[in-house]
Copies of this chain bind each other. A is one copy, B any other.
Amino acid sequence: MLKEERQQTILNEVELHNRVLLTDIAETLDVSIDTIRRDVKELDAEHKLRKVHGGAISLGFTTNSTRNTNIYALDEKIKIAEKASTLLKDGSVIFIDGGTTCLELARMIPENLEITCFTLSLPVAMQLTSKSKVTVIFIGGQISKDAQISIGANAIHNLSEIKVDYSFIGTGYVDSTYGLTEFDWDIVQLKKAVIKAAKKTVLLCISEKLNSQHRYKTCDINAINTMITELPPENQLLNSFKNHDIRIL
Contacts and interface: CB of A to CB of B under 8 A. Distances in A.
Nearest to A8: B62
A228 B128 CA distance: 33
A48 B68 contact: yes
A2 B15 contact: no
Specify the main secondary structure of chain A where it touches its partner.
mixed
Contacts of A21: 2
A140 B148 CA distance: 14
Interface in A110-151: 122-123, 125-130, 132, 135-143, 145, 148, 150
Q: Of A48, A145, A148, which is in contact with the most chain B CB atoms at under 10 Å from its CB?
A: A145
A5 interface: yes
A65 interface: yes
B130 A62 contact: yes
Nearest to A75: B45
Nearest to A12: B65
A137 B129 contact: no
A64 interface: yes
A125 B143 contact: yes
Contacts of A15: 65
Given A63-B68, A143-B136, A143-B138, A3 B54 contact: yes
4 nearest A-B pairs in the assembled complex, by CB-CB distance: A140-B140, A136-B143, A4-B52, A65-B67
Interface of A: 2-5, 8, 11-12, 15, 19, 21, 47-48, 50, 52-55, 57, 60-68, 74, 107, 122-123, 125-130, 132, 135-143, 145, 148, 150, 154-155, 158
